[in-house]
Amino acid sequence: MENGYDVIVVGLGGMGSAAAHHLARRGRRVLGLERFGPAHAQGSSHGGSRIYRQAYAEDPAYVPLLLRARELWEEAAANSGQDLFTATGGLVIGRPDAEPVAGTLRSAREWGLPHEVLDAAEVRRRFPTLTPSEAEVAVHEDAAGVVRPELAVRAHLDLAAAGGADLRFQEPVVTWEALPSGGVAVTTPRARYHADRLVVAPGAWAPGLLPGLVPLRVERRVMYWFAPRSGVQDFAPDRHPVYIWGGEVEGDEMYGFPALDGPDGGVKVAFHSRGGPADPDSLDRTVHATEVDAMRRHLGTRIPALAGELVRGAVCMYVNTADEHFVVCRHPDHEDVVVACGFSGHGFKFVPVIGEVLADLALEGATRHPIGLFDPARLRQSPSA
């Protein structure tokens, strides 16, 4: 058994890398364990871009965390020298009574966030790449933008290592246990490690490493990059915002980005809810022609300039809870263990503040941040869970 660590962090993707950084910067002896390499493309923390927004349709309770996350994104960028965040402004588009629009307005008004409500004609005038129907409106907020996931993970890993963290890759965790005498033990194919505290942030491998905590669904998702017919200039970050576009039927909600990777990189779009159950160890990583055709048809009525040539596609995973809210807490059965899972396809924008929360919980047992919404008791008590 290898001893001498204050905290072990299992999983060094988005949340785990940020937790390792925040723990190391507080002077703790940190061991980070990751089954793949640094900033890998096997889980959920990849794909080149993630939306950051503040007027949060999912629940107004997220807003204070988002405000703190923006501060920490800027801090991480300054400390790492990496360009992690691009301000683009953002739109939530849909019928006025649809939840994406109504929920966004609810959060914006409750927290006094700057925003505008645009009718379809005004959206088309200001953002001519987008063609909403006359029945749709959009909520616009200047604070929205793009976070770069691979760069962010690498930045947090570099900051953690600079703070003294011992980061070990290609070393999957087989088991962990809370010891009767206090502290924890973690076993990998290489060694058995001991620490006072454990942070478990395993992404799509949460069902295996956190059995019985809450029901979780791992689901496959596809990301697409299409070549604009008129060239990428119309999709530049100062002309084409990030957006979430509600659908008329379940599964049609999509989201997208400006052109971020030069004239040959394409413009990224994806469906939020289309995909099926997945096993992270046997995930179908092929992007099928039928999937590309379905997205192309969808773009034809919304962003016609993108309904053409596919540049590339990639597959990732969502790890969904029953209500699609996160699980972030001290383990209900083990006070020395902190868990973070079930980010349900909308968690990456929170990475630095969740890292801060996990460090708080591991070292202090509590946090000043509002995380009551993420208590797993809500799911264990829910008949629908």
Pick from 30, 347, 307: nearest CA to 206? 347
Task: Please report whether residue 256 resides in a domain.
Answer: yes
Residue indicated by tokens 């941040």: 369
Whether the Cβ atoms of residue 176 and residue 162 lie closer than 8 Å to each other: no
Sheet holding 267-271, edge to edge: 116-119, 137-141, 90-94, 242-245, 254-256, 267-271, 217-226, 310-320
Same domain, 183 and 310: no
Residue 123 backbone phi and psi in degrees, to 5: -60, -45
Same domain, 32 and 162: yes
pTM: 0.96
Same domain, 118 and 179: no
Task: Please report whether residue 58 resides in a domain.
Answer: no
Task: Please report whether residue 196 resides in a domain.
Answer: yes
End residue of a domain, out of 320, 351, 371:
320
Q: Are strands 137-141 and 90-94 parallel, antiparallel or unpaired?
A: antiparallel
Same domain, 25 and 154: yes
Q: What is the rounded distance in angstroms from the CA atom of residue 326 to the CA atom of residue 342?
A: 5
Per-residue pLDDT of the chain (385 residues; tens, 9 = 90+): 456 899 999 999 999 999 999 999 999 999 999 999 999 999 999 999 999 999 999 999 999 999 999 999 999 999 999 999 999 999 999 999 999 999 999 999 999 999 999 999 999 999 999 999 999 999 999 999 999 999 999 999 999 999 999 999 999 999 999 999 999 999 999 999 999 999 999 999 999 999 999 999 999 999 999 999 988 999 999 999 999 999 888 789 999 999 999 999 999 999 999 999 999 999 999 999 999 999 999 999 999 999 999 999 999 999 999 999 999 999 999 999 999 999 999 999 999 999 999 999 999 999 999 999 999 999 976 444 4
Whether the Cβ atoms of residue 13 and residue 43 lie closer than 8 Å to each other: yes
Same domain, 228 and 297: yes
Q: What is the pLDDT of residue 250?
A: 79
The CATH number of the domain where 30 resides is what?
A: 3.50.50.60
Residue indicated by tokens 């107004």: 60
Q: What is the rounded distance in angstroms from the CA atom of residue 182 to the CA atom of residue 185?
A: 10
33 beta partners:
10, 168
Q: What is the rounded distance in angstroms from the CA atom of residue 371 to the CA atom of residue 329?
A: 8
Task: Please report whether residue 73 resides in a domain.
Answer: no
Same domain, 264 and 135: yes
Task: Please report whether residue 75 resides in a domain.
Answer: no
Burial 319-332 (b: 16+ CB within 10 A, else e): bbbbbbbbbbbbbe
Ranges assigned E (strand) in the chain: 2-10, 30-33, 50-52, 85-87, 90-94, 116-119, 137-141, 145-147, 166-168, 175-178, 184-187, 192-200, 217-226, 242-245, 254-256, 267-271, 310-320, 327-331, 334-341
End residue of a domain, out of 300, 320, 340:
320
Task: Please report whether residue 69 resides in a domain.
Answer: no
Q: What is the rounded distance in angstroms from the CA atom of residue 62 to the CA atom of residue 33?
A: 29
Same domain, 226 and 338: no
Structural domain boundaries enclosing 292: 90-142+217-320
Q: What is the rounded distance in angstroms from the CA atom of residue 365 to the CA atom of residue 158?
A: 26
Q: What is the pLDDT of residue 382?
A: 47
Task: Please report whether residue 255 resides in a domain.
Answer: yes
Q: What share of the chain is helix, strand, coil (3-state, %, to 5)?
A: 30, 25, 45
End residue of a domain, out of 283, 298, 320:
320
Task: Please report whether residue 79 resides in a domain.
Answer: no
Residue-wise DSSP of 217-275: EEEEEEEEEE--TT-GGGGSTTTS-EEEE--SSTT--EEE----S-TTS-EEEEESS--
Whether the Cβ atoms of residue 357 and residue 200 lie closer than 8 Å to each other: no
Instruction: State how many domains the chain has.
Output: 2
